[in-house]
């Protein structure tokens, strides 16, 4: 029987205090500009490419916390060698992320691989009792997200997605007011139209349709790279940043950027626990492998709120509706008074604080899943070239069985969600 | 003009990719043109599908960009509401080309189209493909997407497949929550391959097989590292599913066992999860 619940950090705190009797280094008790070792998070990094390590700095170090990187993993040995130079000799290197997950001395897993791996790694990290920093986009398809939410909640882990737009939104009094109006439940029909225009590299994020197979470089474990996605013949364009331009690994400019742009919208409009019910896209017919061009996507919520993602790089500009925010004047006088009397929402917690307090981080798992669902729904409408209707509770597309085959996409063995 | 020439002419109207190899060059006029081509292919029915398939080549062995694109667009087109007959005809036409002498890379592409547009009528063809080492995993995934009739094909293939193929089949049965695979899952818990054991444990959890709880707990207990993490998760998922099915005492037994055995600091999160779970099982 476990007599007492002692966390690894509390355990370290106890032993550190004991050690202080004889040593008393200045940092043990957390003097000025020092984080006590009991509060230094130990971290493992999966994916040592461009974003590798960035989330640890943004979500732990920048807000005043500290971490020590113990392990790093990548399927590319060249990147691992670079990681050694960047992070130091003490960092243990792995080519199979499962070995890193097994370690008992890691508090936080930072995931910066291509997105087709994100869900599996998040789930495994939660199962192993780690807290999670996951690069955006959180997942590659909708059902993965629900599986991540289940795992994170099952084990009571802290999760933060690698985008922070909502933290900025919280600072705006107008955003907080809209948030309160929406969360009050007093607005029966929402007339707002939120248009995010531009910022999607639509043309640059098109995949190639003429890839000729090439020899796999000796430093790369291509089978492990493909992982849960189909094992395609190797081509360098499927790897190293341009992986984003293929459905197997991500989903083009929409998948790569929408989570950034939707994150503040979703918080402002109180949509962290639901999804749009109707999605329509203007796009070119989609290739089965390579992502292509799109003009705009219109997504409607059940109570009338409209979200538009306008690529603004290709095709016609979205002109069905004009942008419009929700205002207090949309409410009757009695409702207005009630909203004005509402306290501000609780401040959003940065990851390091959330870990310390064992509370939900600002970019928590359900919010993140719902945000990336928007990108996935948009891409499903694009891939099928038709309007879709979505049930945000069952998380299924209504009356379109083929579309649901993109909501859940079976993985290559041995992987599953 | 022969049918193949007609199809060749039709897909000739689809623009080629730009110099960089992408379709970033398409404009709204091109799109209208492509849509017209797809409608014509749709009208061509089975012959269109077979004609396009004949134009496919192995990756790197020629230019089949337009045929490949057109076959996929046709597959998407016939999944629209009201195209049920065309869908069935398309699926049967594509399935008729799986299992023959065509290069495996082409057959895999065809199976991927069935994964999107296939119906229960092609389940038997995919069932046969499970027996082929290279086609097995794509076929298992296609069956999983089709769902209707899939579990029967997977179960029927199971005695004749080994190693990675066996893993694909067990994994897909687990995805499908195939209750009729309960015995197969229990057997696979003793498989020499750890990935197969993990997939089987997951299957047991998903079908909420209370009778396998004890063997699953023992299996989780017997391993370390990655497998223990996964098997333990399956135990917890099984308990949750048993609670949802109203079998609270069975779930409570799992939670009690995990609380008794997960006493190391490194498994504190499991202990706590079981503790929380126990509240729901009472």
Q: What phi, psi does A73 have (nearest 5°)?
A: -140, 145
∠B209-B213-B215 over CA atoms, to 5°?
120
Range B149-153 average pLDDT: 98
- How confident is the model at residue A229, as a pLDDT? 98
**Interface list for B 131-150 with A (CB within 8 A):** 137-138, 140-141, 144-145
CA atoms of A238 and B282, how far apart (whole Å): 51
> Is-contact A385 A203, C-beta < 8 A?
no
- How confident is the model at residue A18, as a pLDDT? 33
- Inform me whether the pLDDT recorded for A27 exceeds 70: no
In a mutational test of the B interface, the residue from A99, A224, A409, A413 whose CB has the highest number of chain B CBs within 10 Å is A413
Per the listing, tokens 């020439």 go with B5
Range B204-218 average pLDDT: 98
> Considering all CA atoms of chain A, what is the largest pairwise distance in Å, rounded to the nearest integer?
72
Residue ranges of domains in chain A = 8-163, 166-208+234-346+364-407
- Inform me whether the pLDDT recorded for A9 exceeds 60: no
> Is-contact A122 A136, C-beta < 8 A?
no
pTM score: 0.94
- How confident is the model at residue A53, as a pLDDT? 85
- How confident is the model at residue A16, as a pLDDT? 35
Q: Pairing mode, if any, of strands A92-94 and A66-73?
A: parallel
CA distances from B282 to A217, B249, B253 (A): 56, 8, 11
Q: What is the 3-state secondary structure (H, E, C) of A92-139?
A: EEECCHHHHHHCCCCCEEEECCCHHHHHHHHHHHHHCCCEEEECCCCC
Is the Cβ of A287 closer than 8 Å to some Cβ of chain B? yes
Predicted confidence (pLDDT) per residue in A143-176, tens digit: 999 999 999 999 999 999 999 999 999 999 999 9
Q: pLDDT band at residue A1, thresholds of 50, 70 and 90? A: very low
Q: pLDDT band at residue A35, thresholds of 50, 70 and 90? A: low
For residue A16, how many C-alpha atoms fall within 13 Å in the half-sphere facing its CB? 18
Q: Which two tokens stand for residue A397?
A: 């597309």
Range A65-83 average pLDDT: 96
CA atoms of A391 and A302, how far apart (whole Å): 10
CA atoms of A126 and A149, how far apart (whole Å): 10
CA atoms of A1 and B241, how far apart (whole Å): 25
Q: Which is it for the CA torsion B200, B201, B207, B209, positive or negative? A: positive
Of A1, A285, A316, which is closest to B34 when you measure between CB atoms? A285
Helix, strand, coil proportions of chain A in percent (round to 5)? 40, 15, 45
Range A193-208 average pLDDT: 98
Range A31-51 average pLDDT: 79
- Inform me whether the pLDDT recorded for A285 exceeds 70: yes
- How confident is the model at residue A23, as a pLDDT? 31
Average pLDDT taken over every residue of chain A: 92
- How confident is the model at residue B8, as a pLDDT? 95
Using a CB-CB cut-off of 8 Å, the residues of chain B touching A414 are: 167, 171, 195-196, 198-199
- How confident is the model at residue A4, as a pLDDT? 39
Predicted confidence (pLDDT) per residue in B35-92, tens digit: 999 999 999 999 999 999 999 999 999 999 999 999 999 999 999 999 999 999 999 9
Using a CB-CB cut-off of 8 Å, the residues of chain B touching A230 are: 108, 112, 138
Of B30, B137, B145, which is closest to A412 when you measure between CB atoms? B137
Q: Pairing mode, if any, of strands A396-397 and A388-391?
A: antiparallel
Query: What distance lies between CA B276 and its chain's CA centroid?
Result: 33
Using a CB-CB cut-off of 8 Å, the residues of chain B touching A5 are: 268, 271-272
What is residue A350's DSSP assignment? P
% residues pLDDT > 90 (chain A): 88
- How confident is the model at residue A263, as a pLDDT? 97
Q: Pairing mode, if any, of strands A278-283 and A388-391?
A: antiparallel
Q: Which top CATH class is A166-208+234-346+364-407? A: alpha beta
Q: pLDDT band at residue A52, thresholds of 50, 70 and 90? A: confident
Beta partners for A160?
A133
CA atoms of A348 and B49, how far apart (whole Å): 54
Is the Cβ of A96 closer than 8 Å to some Cβ of chain B? no
**Helices in A138-251 by DSSP H: which ranges?**
142-154, 165-171, 173-184, 222-226
Predicted confidence (pLDDT) per residue in A214-266, tens digit: 999 999 999 999 999 999 999 999 999 999 999 999 999 999 999 999 999 99
Give CATH for domain A8-163.
3.40.50.720
Q: State the Rg of chain A over Cα.
A: 23
- How confident is the model at residue A121, as a pLDDT? 98
Given an 8 Å threshold on Cβ–Cβ distance, is A399 in contact with B81? yes
Of A98, A402, A409, which is closest to B117 when you measure between CB atoms? A402
Q: How far is A269 from chain B (nearest CA, A)?
A: 32
> Is-contact A258 A375, C-beta < 8 A?
yes
**Terminal CA-to-CA distance of chain A, rounded, Å?**
32
* Phi-psi sector, A402: left (phi>0), alpha (psi -120 to 50), beta: alpha
Beta partners for A307?
A194, A299
Q: What is the DSSP string of B93-119?
A: HHHTTSSSSS-HHHHHHHHHHHHHH--
Q: pLDDT band at residue A17, thresholds of 50, 70 and 90? A: very low
Average pLDDT taken over every residue of chain B: 97
Using a CB-CB cut-off of 8 Å, the residues of chain A touching B60 are: 212-213, 233
Minimal-distance CA residue of chain A relative to B60: A212
CA atoms of B193 and A236, how far apart (whole Å): 32
- Taking Cα atoms as reference points, which of B15, B13, B11, B9 lies closest to residue B27? B15
- Inform me whether the pLDDT recorded for A348 exceeds 80: yes
Range A298-316 average pLDDT: 98
- How confident is the model at residue B1, as a pLDDT? 78
Beta strands across the sheet bearing A159-161: A92-94, A66-73, A40-46, A108-111, A131-134, A159-161
- Residue B242 CB burial class (10 angstroms; 0-12, 13-18, ≥19): buried
Of B21, B198, B262, which is closest to A209 when you measure between CB atoms? B21
Given an 8 Å threshold on Cβ–Cβ distance, is B265 in contact with A211? no
> Is-contact A301 A274, C-beta < 8 A?
yes
Using omega within 30 degrees of 0 as the cis cutoff, is the peptide bond preceding A137 cis?
yes
Using omega within 30 degrees of 0 as the cis cutoff, is the peptide bond preceding B158 cis?
no
Is the Cβ of B73 closer than 8 Å to some Cβ of chain A? yes
Q: pLDDT band at residue A34, thresholds of 50, 70 and 90? A: low
């Amino acid at each position: 029987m476990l007599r007492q619940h002692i966390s690894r950090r509390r355990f370290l705190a106890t032993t550190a205090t004991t050690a202080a009797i004889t040593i008393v280094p200045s940092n043990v008790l957390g003097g000025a500009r020092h984080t006590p070792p009991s509060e230094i998070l130990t971290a493992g990094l999966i994916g040592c490419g461009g974003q590798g390590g960035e989330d640890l700095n943004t979500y732990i170090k920048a807000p005043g916390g500290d971490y020590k990187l113990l392990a790093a993993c990548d399927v590319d040995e060249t990147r691992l060698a670079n990681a050694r130079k960047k992070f130091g000799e003490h960092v243990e290197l792995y080519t199979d992320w499962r070995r890193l997950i097994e370690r008992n001395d890691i508090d936080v897993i930072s995931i910066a691989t291509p997105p087709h791996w994100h869900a599996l790694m998040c789930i495994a990290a939660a199962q192993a009792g780690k807290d999670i920093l996951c690069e955006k986009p959180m997942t590659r398809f909708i059902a993965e997200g629900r599986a991540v939410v289940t795992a994170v909640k099952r084990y009571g882990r802290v999760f933060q997605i690698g985008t922070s737009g909502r933290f900025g939104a919280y600072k705006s009094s107008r955003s907080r007011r809209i948030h309160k109006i929406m969360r009050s439940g007093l607005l029966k029909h929402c007339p707002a139209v939120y248009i995010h225009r531009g910022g999607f590299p639509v043309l640059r994020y098109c995949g190639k349709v003429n890839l000729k197979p090439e020899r796999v470089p000796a430093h790369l474990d291509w089978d492990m790279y493909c992982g849960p996605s189909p094992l395609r013949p190797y081509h360098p364009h499927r790897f190293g940043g341009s992986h984003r331009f293929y459905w197997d690994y991500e989903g083009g400019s929409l998948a790569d950027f929408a989570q950034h742009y939707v994150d503040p919208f979703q918080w402002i409009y109180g949509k962290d626990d639901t999804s749009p019910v109707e999605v329509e896209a203007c796009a070119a017919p989609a290739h089965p492998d390579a992502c292509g061009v799109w003009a705009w996507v219109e997504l409607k919520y059940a109570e009338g709120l409209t979200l538009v993602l306008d690529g603004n790089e290709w095709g016609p500009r979205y002109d069905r509706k004009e942008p419009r925010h929700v205002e207090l004047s949309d409410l009757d006088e009695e409702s207005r008074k009630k909203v004005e009397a509402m306290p501000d929402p609780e401040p959003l917690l940065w990851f390091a604080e959330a870990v310390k307090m064992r509370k939900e981080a600002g970019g928590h798992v359900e919010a993140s899943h719902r945000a990336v669902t928007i990108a996935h729904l948009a891409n499903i409408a694009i891939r099928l070239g038709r309007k879709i209707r979505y049930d945000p509770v069952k998380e299924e597309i209504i009356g379109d069985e083929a579309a649901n085959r993109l909501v859940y996409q079976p993985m290559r063995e041995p992987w599953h969600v | 003009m022969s049918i193949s020439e007609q199809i060749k002419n039709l897909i000739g109207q689809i623009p080629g990719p730009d110099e960089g190899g992408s379709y970033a060059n398409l404009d709204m006029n091109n799109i209208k043109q492509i849509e017209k081509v797809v409608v014509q292919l749709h009208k061509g029915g089975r012959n269109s599908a077979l004609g396009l398939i004949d134009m496919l080549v192995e990756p790197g062995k020629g230019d089949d960009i337009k045929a490949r694109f057109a076959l996929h667009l046709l597959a998407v087109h016939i999944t629209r509401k009201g195209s049920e007959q065309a869908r069935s005809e398309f699926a049967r036409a594509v399935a008729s080309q799986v299992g023959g002498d065509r290069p495996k890379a082409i057959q895999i592409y065809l199976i991927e189209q069935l994964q999107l547009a296939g119906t229960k009528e092609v389940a038997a063809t995919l069932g046969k493909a499970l027996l082929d080492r290279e086609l097995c995993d794509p076929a298992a995934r296609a069956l999983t997407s089709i769902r209707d009739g899939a579990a029967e094909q997977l179960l029927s293939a199971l005695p004749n497949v080994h190693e990675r193929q066996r893993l694909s089949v067990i994994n897909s049965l687990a995805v499908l929550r195939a209750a009729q695979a309960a015995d197969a899952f229990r057997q696979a818990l003793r498989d020499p391959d750890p990935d197969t054991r993990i997939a089987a444990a997951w299957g047991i959890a998903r079908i909420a097989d209370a009778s396998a709880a004890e063997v699953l707990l023992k299996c989780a207990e017997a391993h370390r590292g990655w497998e223990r993490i996964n098997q333990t998760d399956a135990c917890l998922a099984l308990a949750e599913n048993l609670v949802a099915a109203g079998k609270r005492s069975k779930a409570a037994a799992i939670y009690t066992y995990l609380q008794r055995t997960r006493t190391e600091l490194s498994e504190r999160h499991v202990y706590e999860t079981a503790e929380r779970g126990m509240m729901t099982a009472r």
